[in-house]
Structure 1
Amino acid sequence: MKRTKSKIDEDLRKFSSILTNKMNSGFVVLERNDKLPYAILMKNKKKVDHISNFFMFCATLGLWSIAWIYISQVSSKAKKILIAIDEDGNPFEEKCF
């Protein structure tokens, strides 16, 4: 089934708005293709302040260790994602490894 020009333009607008939202949240475009349309985005890793986390760990008698481990191992890592629009015009997002 062929898609009309207006449907393709609508999909590109939807794709561009998703990219704009992601770029506003800190992602940077590594690669972009408007013909297919897809884009690979990356967010740099965050630096963890271990000194303040240690003080929180001491103040909460060790309960902060769970949050500290999560911050150090999961949320501070660099992230790469793929954003694309499939044949039906539905946007999707996947993690890149």
Structure 2
Amino acid sequence: MSTQEIAKFTDSINSKLEEGFVIEEKNDTLPFAVLSKKRKRINHKLNFKLACITLGVWSIVWLYQSYVSKAKKIVVGLDEDGNVFQENCYMG
């Protein structure tokens, strides 16, 4: 592995950390890291009131917020060719 490949890997992890992810596990010999992001809290009472006020139109936004706010877990690593890859980890 060259220093350029390691720099790309480190930059990729740093960009995910800026998005709110946290490192759960990191391996430098086989460069990969497992990152997770906690679920955002949604104020369901407020969203319900807004949905009632807007005659249900706000419910589309409410459903989107509920879908996007799920906890996420990803793996970031380097493949054999030195390319950075990212895959989702599916939690049960």
TM exceeding 0.5? yes
CA RMSD, 1 decimal: 1.2
Measured in 2, the distance between the counterparts of 1:67 and 1:89 equals: 40
What is the alpha-carbon distance in structure 2 between the residues aligned to residue 92 and residue 37 of structure 1? 11
Query: Which whole-Å CA distance do the structure 1 matches of 2:89 and 2:76 have between them?
Result: 10
Moved over 6 A (4+): none
- The residue identity in structure 2 corresponding to 1:88 is D
Q: For residue 76 of structure 1, what is the aligned residue in structure 2?
A: 69
* Bigger Rg, structure 1 or 2: 1
Matched, 1:20 2:3: no
Give the superposition deviation at 1:45. Answer: 0.5
Letter in 2 for 1:75: V
TM superposition score normalised by structure 2 = 0.90
Equivalent residue, structure 2, for 1:42 = 36
Identical-pair percentage: 47
* 2:5 equivalent among 1, 8, 11: 11
Counterpart code for 2:33? A
Instruction: Return 5+ residue gaps in structure 2 as ranges.
Output: none
Are 1:64 and 2:58 counterparts?
A: yes
User: Is contact 1:27-1:42 (8 Å) kept?
Assistant: yes
